[in-house]
Amino acid sequence: MEFYDLPKDERSLLVEKALDEIVDVHDRYKNFSVLTQKEAITYIDKNYT
């Protein structure tokens, strides 16, 4: 099944989980990330909410 074949509420939940994981990765790999976790949150809030 493709992403866009999912019902909208399931797609929204999947995107929310993915964004949460992106923020978490920026904390777990802070020594390798270009952005800090706070900068990643700010970027996501500005561009995806």
Cα-Cα-Cα-Cα dihedral sign, residues 9, 13, 14, 16: positive
Q: What is the pLDDT along the chain (49 residues), one digit of tens a residue?
A: 899 999 999 999 999 999 999 989 888 887 777 888 899 899 989 998 6
Backbone angles phi, psi at 29, to 5 degrees: -115, 40
Please state the domain extents for the chain. 3-48
pTM recorded for the entire structure: 0.68
DSSP alpha helices (H): ranges in the chain? 8-28, 37-48
